[in-house]
Amino acid sequence: MNKDLLKMSNLSKEDILDILNLADQLKYEQKHGIEHHHLKGKSLGLIFEKSSTRTRVSFEVGMYQLGGYPLFLSSKDLQIGRGEPIQDTARVLSRYLDGIMIRTFSQKEVETLAESSSIPIINGLTDDEHPCQILADLMTIRENKKILEGLNVAYIGDGNNMANSLIVGFLTVGMNLSIASPTDYSPSNYYIEKGKEISKSMDVNFRVTTCPKEAVKNADVVITDVWASMGQEDESAKRIKAFQGFKVDSQLMKLAKNDAIVLHCLPAHREEEISTEVLEKHSEIIFNEAENRLHAQKAILVKLLK
């Protein structure tokens, strides 16, 4: 495994499965009151330029449960908020901390931080990728379906960071993937070409379509996300119009397999990208998915910091 987790392509299939296996073990130990202080004496800096519920709480609690010390660092409180080059911040924090998780807008900023840092850097979300969420999703799917290889997955919605990381992560572990997005909102050509490349090497199916019904047909797993991500709030009205017909509702789910599960990384905008009926029907799995951010990220931390 690489020194850093900046994007899903940093991980091989073996890396992903190793993380999932460790996450399962850590979850079992936590549920049974077994302490696992693998990172006793270690410190993790948490840099946030984007607001967060699940990312902040899961990383802080996870580091604490591993015996380490999490340190919340708002960009407003750091000198990078006043113009200090990210390279200088990286070199300073490398002398204080054992690792950094950053949640920000620019993928380039995360990669520059990693280039200038001597400690592991974890991407907690950028506009391009969301690898920690994808690992939690894979963990949740395997808990429910017992396998990953050969499953049919449909993603319905914006070709955003979630879609990008899904393409790389899900195809890498041998899942078939269909992405349905409105015209002009599909994933970038880079990720579509990356998906074609991985699907060919893994001998799995990958397609991008503008038809949600086509994508969901015979799906084992259906995934959706908000139509307007953070930083796109001023596009909300335009996007709601463009995404009409892309709601994951009971009618659409009739085309999936009878035992299909639904995932949503949250927060959800009910009656936009997902109906209240479908969300509540699959709420146990969706909120387990949110919980699994904790366990998957603890596994990432152990792999990178121990």
Tell me what pLDDT residue 20 has.
98
φ and ψ at residue 223, rounded to 5 degrees: -125, 140
For residue 56, indicate whether it is catalytic.
Answer: no
177-194 per-position pLDDT tens digit: 999 999 999 999 999 999
pTM of the model: 0.97
Could you give the maximum distance between any two Cα atoms of the chain, in Å?
55
State the pLDDT at residue 82. Answer: 67
SS3 content of the chain, % helix, strand, coil (to 5): 45, 15, 35
- Whether 142 is catalytic is no
% residues pLDDT > 70 (the chain): 99
DSSP letters, 128-179, are S--HHHHHHHHHHHHHHHS--TT-EEEEES--SHHHHHHHHHHHHTT-EEEE
Task: Show Cβ contacts of residue 221 under 8 Å, excluding neighbours closer than 6 positions.
Answer: 141, 145, 151, 152, 153, 154, 260, 261, 262, 263
Is 131 marked as a binding-site residue?
yes
* CB distance 113 to 86 below 8 Å: yes
52 is in an annotated binding site: yes
What is the pLDDT of the chain when averaged over all its residues? 96
Identify whether 32 is a catalytic site residue: no
User: Can 82 be counted among the known catalytic residues?
Assistant: no
Q: Residue 99 in 3-state DSSP? A: strand
Kindly report, residue by residue over 75-125, the tens digit of the pLDDT: 777 877 667 899 999 999 999 999 999 999 999 999 999 999 999 999 999
Predicted confidence band at 53 (pLDDT cuts at 50, 70, 90)?
Answer: very high
**What does the alpha-carbon distance between residue 303 and residue 1 come to, in Å, rounded to a whole number?**
8
Check the annotation: does 293 bind a ligand.
Answer: yes
- Catalytic: which of 265, 282, 295, 297? 265
* Given 38, 130, 282, 295, the catalytic residue: 130
Choosing from 38, 103, 264, 282, which is the catalytic residue? 103
- Residues 202 and 25: their CA atoms lie apart, in Å, by 27
pLDDT interval class at 254 (50, 70, 90): very high
State the residue for tokens 């890396």: 15
pLDDT band at 234 (very low <50, low <70, confident <90, very high): confident
- The full set of domains in the chain, from first to last, is 8-130+292-305 (3.40.50.1370), 133-291 (3.40.50.1370)
Q: Is 282 annotated as a binding residue?
A: no
Sign (positive or negative) of CA dihedral 183, 155, 132, 273: positive
**Whole-number pLDDT of residue 75:** 72
Chain center to CA of 300: 13
Catalytic-labelled residue, pool 38, 142, 239, 293: 293
Question: Has 104 been labeled as part of a binding site?
Answer: no
Catalytic-labelled residue, pool 38, 98, 133, 158: 133
Whether residue 54 is annotated as binding a ligand: the answer is yes
